[in-house]
Amino acid sequence: MLVSIDKKQLGLALILLGAFPLTSFAIDKKFEIEPAVLAKKYPMPAPAPKQAPAPKAKPAAKASGTVTYKVKRGDFLYRVLAREYGITGDRADAVAHRVKSANHLADIRRLQVGSTLLIPIEAGEHVARQKPRRAVKVAAAKTGRTAPAEAKGHTMMFLRAPTAQQSGAQSAARNPEAVQDAAQVWPQLVPNAPSSKAQLDYLSSAFSLSLDPQRYPVLAAQDGGTILVDADASLPPLVKSLLQEKNQQLSVVSERPDNTRAFYRALLTAARFYSFEEDFLVDFGSDCKVVVQADFKIEKSQDSLLRQDITLLKVPGKRPATPQALVRLLASHGFKLVETPSTAPIITGRPDDSVLYQIPEKDPRGIADALLEALGIRFQADKSIDLYADDNNGVRLEIPVYRYFEKNGKRYVLARFQGDPMGESLTNLLEGKGYQVIPVQDHDDLQSLSDKLLNRLDVAGRYGEQELWSLWEKGYGVRMPGVMLNDAKGGRIFITDRKVDPLVRELAKLNGYRQETR
């Protein structure tokens, strides 16, 4: 039967259909038909062969050059390079250096919102970004949890922490000492920060996300942001994107912790302190310098230096812990020392390994005696030498010398010759008879006398500023003017004419010096 509908009725029907859209329902999965099964049962005829079109020339690779980027709130240069251009690691360091030069930036950590950056990218550095995908539906794990009312009808995503059985073996392998040390010292760098064991999780109508705090510790940034430590770079890219989308101030550190220095450098960069400096040295004193080395010097704010609020960080290594006397000295000058828990304990050297001689003498003869005693040389005092005693020629010429000793088959004399013609003549006569003459003059001090004596004895060692032990092995050291010698037993002999203060005495004793004053 034919039904006639006039134009007015047809228009009204179309309006009603537009006002009340129909709801479509997906068919249950058990009624779905696999295309592969259908094709096997009812094969389609093969299509007629078509002439293959001529291959098109591939577009040329994009040349290197400079791109522009408009800075948004919360942007950080390294994050922009990774997110927008896929540039990370050493390549990011090289590009960041060029960005700083091209834009005349004083500090790349402080980007002005709304400004346009010129980013020079060389060939091979740019990595094409993947196109954003549509929302991915992930089947929910069977956790026994009930979806919230507002989430019913939506696919839920649960990322559960490892079970207790997994976390024992995996956590030990994926959470090395460097990560644990960083989590322990971090509250000293960022006070009032939440515990690193706090669980990072998000819950919304679309998904539920949680991370195991043992495997992915969470640290606080100086500006209130969050640092997620992904020590073995195992965080899935999708999860990382979800986290950073939910928290614009989240930084993910994926640096390998076995490279301790690089790992802490990445953490401090992510913490967004005002500034930090590597391999920092600070010394106290003038003649007698006490030097402290730190892996990082951290300024938390712009006025940290004025407020004497500087933090020195020492990262794990084989160096011993810093003595408490030095910690107090640093604190009195506005330096807070933070050391990781795995730093080796203080090891006191054997008291007979080395000797520190202090020579307060000003008289050249007393200085000469102290030098000879420090070198372990036995001598005769105030000896008269008869130059022609063995010639039996009836001539007797005696020359008084201050000190006489023999070493390695040679004869040495210390004589008070003042450099006048008479003294030069006597020196020539003594040396003509095989004596090694070391002149001692009234104006001689430890520096001049030690240079003369050691040069005559052919002993390696000169007066100057000496390092009593290796600064880089201990993390602290002492530098003083004096003479440093090595003895036959493998120890060291340090001779100085400067005053040794109590702190230096304490540090020297800790490092195996026996102290003597003449």
Can you give the pTM of this predicted structure? 0.60
- Residue among 173, 329, 191, 199 at smallest CA distance from 257: 173
**503 and 388 housed in the same domain:** yes
- pLDDT over 50 (residue 150): no
Q: Is the pLDDT of residue 505 over 50?
A: yes
Q: Is residue 27 part of a domain?
A: no
Q: 501 and 442, same structural domain?
A: yes
* Closest by Cα among 203, 205, 204 to 151: 205
Residues 157, 117 share a domain:
no
**Does residue 328 sit in helix, strand or coil?**
helix
404 and 487 part of one domain = yes
Assess whether pLDDT exceeds 60 at residue 85. yes
In a domain, 349, yes or no: no
Give the CATH number for residue 86: 3.10.350.10
State which of 221, 254, 271 marks the end of a domain.
Answer: 271
Phi, psi (5° rounding) for residue 470? -70, 120
Q: Is the pLDDT of residue 461 over 60?
A: yes
494 touches 356 (CB < 8 A) = yes
The pLDDT tens digits for 220-232 are 999 888 899 998 8
**What is the sign of the dihedral through the CA atoms of 8, 14, 19 and 20?**
positive
What sign does the dihedral 366-371-374-376 (CA atoms) show? negative
Q: Is residue 471 a part of any domain in this protein?
A: yes
Alpha helical stretches, state H, 433-486: 446-457, 471-474
Whether 470 and 510 share a structural domain: yes
Whether 55 maps to a domain, the answer reads no
Residue 18 lies in a domain: no
Asked if residue 193 is part of any domain, the answer here is yes
What is the model's pLDDT at position 332? 94
Clarify whether residues 360 and 326 are in a common domain: no
Helix 446-457 with 364-374: angle, nearest 10 deg: 50
**What number is the average pLDDT over the span 185-193?**
85
What 3-state DSSP class applies to 179?
Answer: helix
Domain membership of residue 102 (yes or no) is: yes
Model confidence pLDDT, tens digit, residues 300-328 = 988 888 888 899 999 877 788 899 999 99
What is the mean pLDDT of the segment spanning 111-140?
A: 60
Domain that holds residue 77: 65-121
Do 177 and 290 fall within a single domain? no
Q: What is the DSSP letter of 344?
A: B
Q: Domain boundary residue among 339, 366, 392?
A: 339
387 with 511, same domain: the answer is yes
Domain count within the chain:
4
Lowest-pLDDT range, 108-122, 298-312, 453-467? Answer: 108-122
Q: Which of 223, 252, 271 is the last residue in one of the domains?
A: 271
- Considering the domain architecture, whether residues 359 and 470 belong to the same structural domain is answered as yes
Report which of 235, 242, 248 is spatially closest to residue 174, judged by C-alpha positions.
235
Look at the chain and count its residues: 518
How large a percentage of the chain has pLDDT more than 90? 29
Query: Is the same domain home to 372 and 503?
Result: yes
In a domain, 387, yes or no: yes
The predicted structure's pLDDT at residue 137: 34
How does strand 398-407 pair with strand 380-386? Answer: antiparallel
Same-domain check for residues 288 and 262 = no
Q: Is the pLDDT of residue 216 over 50?
A: yes
- Continuous H helices in 380-462: 421-432, 446-457
The verdict on 495 and 383 lying in the same domain is yes
